[in-house]
Structure 1
Amino acid sequence: MHHASFRQLEALTLVARHESVSRAADALHVTQPAISLQLRTLEDICGIALTRKVGRNIQLTAAGEVMLEFSERILRLWEQAADELAALRGVTSGTLRIGAVTTAEHLLPPLLVPFTMERPDVRLKLQVGNRAEIVNMLARHEIDLAIMGTPPRELRTNAARFARHPMAFVASPGHQLMKKKKLTLNDVMAANLLVRERGSGTRTAIERLFREAGHPLNFGSEVSSNEAIKRMVSAGLGIGFLSVHACGLEFEAGLLAILPMQEHPVEADWHVMHLTDQPIPKVAAAFQDYVIEHGQELVERELEGAYKQSGRRRKPRADGAAAAE
């Protein structure tokens, strides 16, 4: 088989990921004919069809699946080679490929900004999605690190806790429950409680909270987006159970506030993880170490601001974390 180029291998991987020549072209910032030409050239080199058109989508043939696996490995090794050479020059560089569940989207900026500012040669590729999407990206080696609440059981991962994850019941500042001094889960159950879909971190946490209190899992509505829940709750259409990280801007704007409940905050752990079956690039290892060392401190700064904007404050707990007052 004649030599193929990295551009041809990259075109194949992007077409496979997006199932579309046009979306692959957008990802590479080239024209559709350029992607089609790369695919045709690669098929000529391989001597067999690698893709087929199914409706409006492009799918891989059996040969394409084989070629995709090797293409991803070759491109990943090339990136690692560049990182190793940079390390020999004393430079931390390369592409930091990281994925995070949607709730962690608001958590990442205070972690990524100082890390990348200290390392100007590091490029960032951030993927945000629901838990299933991030787990799939990790399994397919599309990302090197993942940030989520609970490590996936279906994959063998090396996971490390780096910060606490506070969650709370939130409502519009003008909601009638905001006037009560002491709220219970019974009060919340009587309202229209909006929760995330099954499998999400906040959904798992609230289900555990209700079960431990002996309450049935009767929720008002299930919504697959933090943003949708925040918009509905700020409009007075119910109460939400969300990550405090995700509500900072709404607290600041006076659109949401934390309900005064004894159960607050409900806390879990944030984990950073990678697959155990292969070494991760040096830039990913450096970020993982940075998050483990500085994550809790940086997250605490963000949370102090969020609680202050919501009209509440945090006090130290015996375990070194903080609770809301």
Structure 2
Amino acid sequence: MNLTLRQLHLFTALARFKSITAVARHFHVTQPTVSMQMKDLAESVGLPLYEVIGKAVYLTPAGLELEDTARAMLAELEAFGQRIDDIKGFRRGKLTVAVVSTAEYFVPRLLGDFCAKYPEVEIALEVLNRNGVIQRLEHNLDDLYIMSKPPANLDVEAKAFMTNSLHVVAPAGHPLTQRKRIKHTELARYPFILRERGSGTRLACDSHFESLGFEPTVRLELGSNEAIKQAVQGGMGLAVLSEHALNAGAATGGLQILNVQSFPIHANWYTVRPNGKRPSPVAADFWRYLNVDLKKGVKL
């Protein structure tokens, strides 16, 4: 097949943006240019790669196969370029990281520390819910992933690098805030606002509640920590939130951690990547920073 790197870059962007117009805008070229390149690419493959329904682009089975292959090829070329720079004594390139939403409270700071040492490294950070991160992990779209519960059904390498304590919180002035010690069974009298099912925080909560033989009354499920904090402040119920979510944002001022028996839930944050993945030099440095240097208190 007579494929070009330019065609592969355009095609992976098309798979991402699902729009010829968006791809043209992203690469600062005309729409006819993108369409012609995609036409030539399809002719080289010998099968249609996508179809347009309404205004959206949908990949065909052949297109999906090409997307996986193209991403792998471009990632290998990027890693090769980084290894050559490494031999030359340079450290530059691109680092792509996908994290679950709660990790957005601390990951940018860690990336900032890393970039302070490697100012020529370009960072791409994706903040998604757990399902979104796992989808990217399944397609090997990033250098590494950060989540609180690694998927058990995927062949991955996962290492705990930071604690993630989960606390029961109530609005300031709630009757329970005056108590020095609360039995978890007493929480049955109060409704809870929890993260959506499938999130790492919710999985940890459900597992912990089950181990206690306790079933909370769930009034509301929300996909945002900030929304949960606002709802608790509004008196809608209690919540279980990560210490990282509680240590960030102005909304935390109206909340108070409760001293509940069997809490906090002691969990961890994990770095995750596909087993056997060969990291680029930049990705290897960041993995080592999180899993070795950070634990030892080494400053970059």
- Same fold, TM-score > 0.5, yes or no: yes
Q: Which 5+ residue runs of structure 1 have no aligned equivalent?
A: 299-325
Alignment correspondent of 2:202: 203
Alignment correspondent of 1:281: 280
Deviations 1:154-173 (A, max 9, x none): 21111111111111112222
SS of alignment partner, residue 195 of structure 1: strand
Does the 8 A contact of 2:184 with 2:261 survive in 1? no
SS of alignment partner, residue 218 of structure 2: coil
How far off its partner does 1:123 sit? 0.8
Give the CA RMSD over aligned residues: 2.4
- One-letter code of the match for 2:170? A
- One-letter code of the match for 1:2? N
- One-letter code of the match for 1:116? C
In 2, Cα distance between the equivalents of 1:32 and 1:188? Answer: 59
- One-letter code of the match for 2:2? H
Alignment correspondent of 1:8: 7
Alignment correspondent of 1:136: 135
Deviations 1:32-87 (A, max 9, x none): 55543432343344454321012332111233233223211221111011111111
Alignment correspondent of 2:179: 180
How far off its partner does 1:25 sit? 4.6
Matches within 5 A, 1:1-325: 1-4=1-4, 6-25=5-24, 28=27, 32-250=31-249, 254-296=253-295
SS of alignment partner, residue 257 of structure 1: strand
How far off its partner does 1:174 sit? 3.1
Does the 8 A contact of 1:107 with 1:245 survive in 2? yes
In 1, Cα distance between the equivalents of 2:158 and 2:275? Answer: 9
Alignment correspondent of 1:310: none
Structure having greater relative contact order (Cα 8 Å, sep ≥ 6): 2
Query: What is the percentage of aligned positions where both structures have the same residue?
Result: 33
SS of alignment partner, residue 254 of structure 2: coil
Q: Which 5+ residue runs of structure 2 have no aligned equivalent?
A: none
- One-letter code of the match for 1:53? V
How far off its partner does 1:266 sit? 1.4
In 1, Cα distance between the equivalents of 2:130 and 2:289? Answer: 23
In 2, Cα distance between the equivalents of 1:157 and 1:26? Answer: 36
In 1, Cα distance between the equivalents of 2:118 and 2:286? Answer: 10
In 1, Cα distance between the equivalents of 2:35 and 2:230? Answer: 42
In 1, Cα distance between the equivalents of 2:236 and 2:38? Answer: 50
In 2, Cα distance between the equivalents of 1:13 and 1:129? Answer: 20
